[in-house]
């Protein structure tokens, strides 16, 4: 009976390809008003109808490479090893920027232009190897006359072939040095009793301010819950906000309309207004040029 069960499991694997199919996850700044995303998925489906396909987001602000970089950093660790991400925020399409596939030390793959999109995942997950896509081989058939939709003709096609096992990672193209194009930003540091960090992104639905100051770095302030911190926010060298608020673990710890500091779902220091919008109230936004300093009050 045991041998029969094993035989049926092998048949299932053979005919479904389940054991070999990893997820293909798409991210773009295309929006969903036209057929661009569906075209990419159609190309992938043509390579193999068995590929499980998912959307990270298609609402990256137009041309915002930094936000694309952050959303990959936010999401990728929660997907299993072998997942292939396609990220297309590509204002330089058709230029000399390289089309690459990054394999991280965590076993994830990222198919994207090397234009800064890989800034955060390369640091977070580590670079195992990078290969430049050989478009002579890994490009949708009869698409050579198109220069403006590499997301469909090169990235979705290459990613699908990689997921489906049509090509190996080595067959993507020639190996490149283990470096990526980086967007400069303020790393989280603690010096002389002051924390410094970046505001990489907003919790956009609610207007909360997310920083890149992780829990371990924040703990160096040695705060107890309810104690206040002083916060200054800059855009470049321009001061945008200066104030203080208590550090708490839940929004309900302060009255409605009051400001608070907390650790978000990624365990990074964040600022909010209970039942309000911190970003709108103080005209604070996000990006590599946005910085924050934090100290005990």
Name beta bridge partners: 244.
230
What is the pLDDT averaged over residues 200-229?
96
pLDDT tens, 35-91? 999 999 999 999 999 999 999 999 999 999 999 999 999 999 999 999 999 999 999
Give the CATH number of the domain where residue 210 resides: 2.40.30.90
Structure token digits, residue 233? 């926010």
* Same domain for 111 and 26: yes
CB half-sphere exposure, 153, CA atoms < 13 A: 15
- Among the three residues 109, 144, 176, which one is the final residue of a domain in this structure? 176
What integer is the mean pLDDT of 281-296?
A: 98
pLDDT at 145: 63
Q: Residues 197, 83: contact at Cβ < 8 Å?
A: no
Report the sign of the C-alpha dihedral through residues 59, 77, 139, 175, in that order. Answer: positive
Do 158 and 54 share a structural domain?
Answer: yes
Q: How confident is the model at residue 17 (pLDDT cuts 50, 70, 90)?
A: very low
One domain, residues 199 and 281: yes
Residue 144: band (very low, low, confident or very high) from pLDDT cuts 50, 70, 90: low
| Per-residue pLDDT at 147 | 66
Rounded to two decimals, the pTM is 0.87
Would 120 be classed as within a structural domain?
Answer: yes
288 and 195 part of one domain: yes
Same domain? 25 vs 146: yes
Structure tokens at 171: 């067959």
Residues 165 and 281 in one domain: no
Residue 9 belongs to a domain with what CATH number?
3.40.50.10790
**10 and 155 assigned to the same domain:** yes
150-194 pLDDT per residue, tens: 888 999 999 999 999 999 999 999 999 999 999 999 999 999 999
Same domain, 211 and 161: no
Domain of residue 282, residue span: 189-296
Write out the H or E segment, with its range, that includes residue 53: strand 53-57
Query: How many structural domains are present in the chain?
Result: 2
pLDDT of res. 237 = 95
Three-state DSSP at 233 gives strand
Other C-beta atoms lying within 10 Å of the C-beta of residue 69: 29
In a domain, 242, yes or no: yes
pLDDT at 12: 44
CA distance 248 to 296: 14
Contacts of 261 (CB under 8 A, 6+ apart): 229, 231, 245, 246, 247, 248, 269, 270, 271
- Do 164 and 231 lie in one domain? The reply is no
Distance, C-alpha 196 to centroid of its chain: 22
Domain boundary among 176, 205, 233: 176
Domain boundary among 112, 141, 176: 176
Question: What is the tens place of the pLDDT at every residue in 231-277?
Answer: 999 999 999 999 999 999 999 999 999 999 999 999 999 999 999 99
Residue 192 Cα distances to 2, 74, 213, angstroms:
66, 30, 16
Q: How far is residue 232's CA from residue 244's CA, in Å, rounded to a whole number?
A: 9
Which residues lie across from 270 on neighbouring strands?
A: 210, 262
Across 160-223, where does the E strand assignment appear?
175-176, 189-191, 194-198, 201-203, 208-214
Residue 206 CA to residue 49 CA, distance in Å, equals: 38
My answer on whether 9 and 154 are in the same domain is yes
What is the band of 6 on the pLDDT scale with cuts at 50, 70, 90? very low
Whole-number pLDDT of residue 5? 45
Does residue 157 belong to any structural domain of this protein? yes
């Amino acid at each position: 009976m045991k041998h029969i069960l094993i035989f049926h499991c092998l048949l299932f694997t053979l005919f479904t390809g389940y054991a070999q199919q990893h997820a293909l996850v798409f991210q773009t700044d295309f929006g969903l008003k036209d057929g661009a995303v569906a075209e990419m998925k159609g190309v992938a489906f043509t390579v193999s109808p068995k590929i499980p396909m998912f959307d990270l987001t298609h609402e990256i602000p137009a041309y915002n490479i930094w936000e694309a970089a952050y959303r990959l950093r936010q999401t990728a660790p929660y997907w299993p090893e072998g997942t292939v991400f396609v990220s297309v925020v590509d204002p330089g399409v058709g230029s000399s920027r390289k089309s690459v596939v990054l394999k991280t030390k965590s076993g994830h793959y990222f198919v994207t232009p090397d234009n800064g999109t890989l800034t955060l995942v390369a640091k977070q997950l580590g670079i195992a190897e990078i290969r430049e896509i050989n478009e002579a081989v890994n490009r949708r058939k009869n698409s050579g006359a198109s220069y403006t939709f590499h997301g469909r003709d090169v990235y979705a096609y290459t990613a699908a072939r990689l997921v489906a096992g049509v090509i190996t990672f080595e067959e993507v193209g020639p190996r490149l040095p283990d470096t990526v194009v980086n967007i400069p930003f303020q790393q989280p540091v603690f010096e002389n009793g002051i924390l410094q960090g970046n505001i990489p992104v907003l919790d956009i639905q609610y207007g909360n301010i997310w920083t890149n100051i992780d829990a371990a770095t924040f703990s160096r302030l040695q705060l107890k819950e309810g104690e206040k911190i002083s916060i200054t926010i800059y855009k470049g060298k321009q001061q945008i906000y200066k104030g203080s608020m208590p550090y708490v673990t839940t929004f309900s710890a302060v009255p409605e309309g009051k400001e608070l500091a907390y650790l978000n779902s990624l365990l990074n220091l964040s600022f909010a207004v209970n039942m309000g919008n911190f970003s709108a109230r103080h005209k604070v936004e996000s990006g590599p040029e946005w910085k924050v300093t934090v100290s005990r009050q």
